[in-house]
Amino acid sequence: NNKNFRIDKDKFHDDEFFKKVDSFENFYKSKSSINLLLGSSVVQNINPDVFGKNWFTFCNGSQNIYQSYKFLNHYKDSTKIDTILLSLNPFDFPFSYTKNRSGARPMLNRNFHIFGKDSITSIRKLTNFKILKIIKSENYPRLENILLSVFKKNEVKTMNHVTEKVYHGNGFVTRPTPKGIDLDSLNNVKGMRAFKKAGHYFYNVLDRPNLKYFNLFDELAKSLNVKVIYLLTPKSKYYHLKMEKENQNVKLKNLLSMLKQENIEIWNYENVNIEDKNFNSFYDDTHLSLEATREFVKIIKKRLKNSF
């Protein structure tokens, strides 16, 4: 704050996001119609080419349904969209994104202001304190992160570790995906406090979840005559245990009941067990490992094929 130590904020700008935007605008110009995979990091590692050459993925960390709405609304007159496969998460249903905020929660991606500024998309400032936390966590890892790296059989990465990313024309970014870890071993080391996603995902979500942001997206898609498939991805047993411990399971039950009353197509794989003796299925509470992602994609691809 007193300017004695300068932090280069440009180092932390999300260049990947803007490359995806450019890639998308080049993609749809060469197509008479397209299909979209939208959502957060739970589907970010799915290469849309497995579904067909007309599929594009615009998925980003913490991307919520309101931001997917902003994206769709921005491009609604630019291209014809046939089908959207959109991941749903509890953080798509908070009573507010702007009120009662705590750090990065309710979850959102800070880049969507380019599709139109409003009270939600303007929540994007990366403070010096946040940057210092990033530097600290990457250069001075906590003990549990070191232990976690042992489970992954991978070294702890620092700011000096550079990973080359390959950008495809379908919005997909090739990057090393964390291998699955033994969540049981992690639980033995750290206990249930190692699993935080349930609390993060359900922040600001009431017992009767708010469908306002969902309805904005769904009504826009229907007005454009776009077929939307809402997807709930597999979650680990520890996510469900933590959700039950924190009484979040009531919210999920109510949410699913409310969604059933809507005129929508929803594919619920929350409790699908993707297990194999040759790999661990998750690299944290909610994110599938690379191997499990491949198995899950097979399920989705087959169901997509049968739905048309």
- Residue 179's pLDDT is 81
Report the candidate in 64, 302, 46 with the shortest Cα–Cα distance to residue 170.
46
Question: pLDDT category, 15, cuts 50, 70, 90?
Answer: confident
Question: What HEC string does 77-127 produce?
Answer: CCCCEEEEEEECCHHHCCCCCCCCCECCECCCCCCHHHHCCCCCCCCCCCC
Question: What does the alpha-carbon distance between residue 18 and residue 105 come to, in Å, rounded to a whole number?
Answer: 23
The label of the residue with tokens 């498939």 reads 229
The pLDDT value recorded for residue 159 is: 37
Q: Are 293 and 303 in contact (CB under 8 A)?
A: no
Tell me the per-residue pLDDT of 185-217, one tens digit each, with 9 for 90 and over.
999 999 999 999 999 999 999 999 999 999 999
Kindly report the pTM of this predicted structure.
Answer: 0.86
**pLDDT tens, position by position, 86-96:** 999 999 999 99
Task: Find, among 283, 49, 33, 54, the residue nearest to 173 by Cα.
Answer: 49
Per DSSP, the three-state class of 85 is strand
**Residue 10 pLDDT > 60, yes or no?**
no
Contact partners, residue 135, CB within 8 Å, separation at least 6: 159
| 226 has pLDDT over 90 | yes
Mean pLDDT computed over 135-142: 65
Q: Residues near 208 by Cβ (< 8 Å), separated by ≥ 6?
A: 254, 258
Element (H, E) at 218: helix 212-223
Structure tokens at 108: 């959102």
Confidence (pLDDT) at 275: 75
Residue 289 pLDDT: 93
Looking at residue 116, what DSSP letter applies? -
User: How far is Cα 294 from Cα 308, in angstroms, rounded to an integer?
Assistant: 22
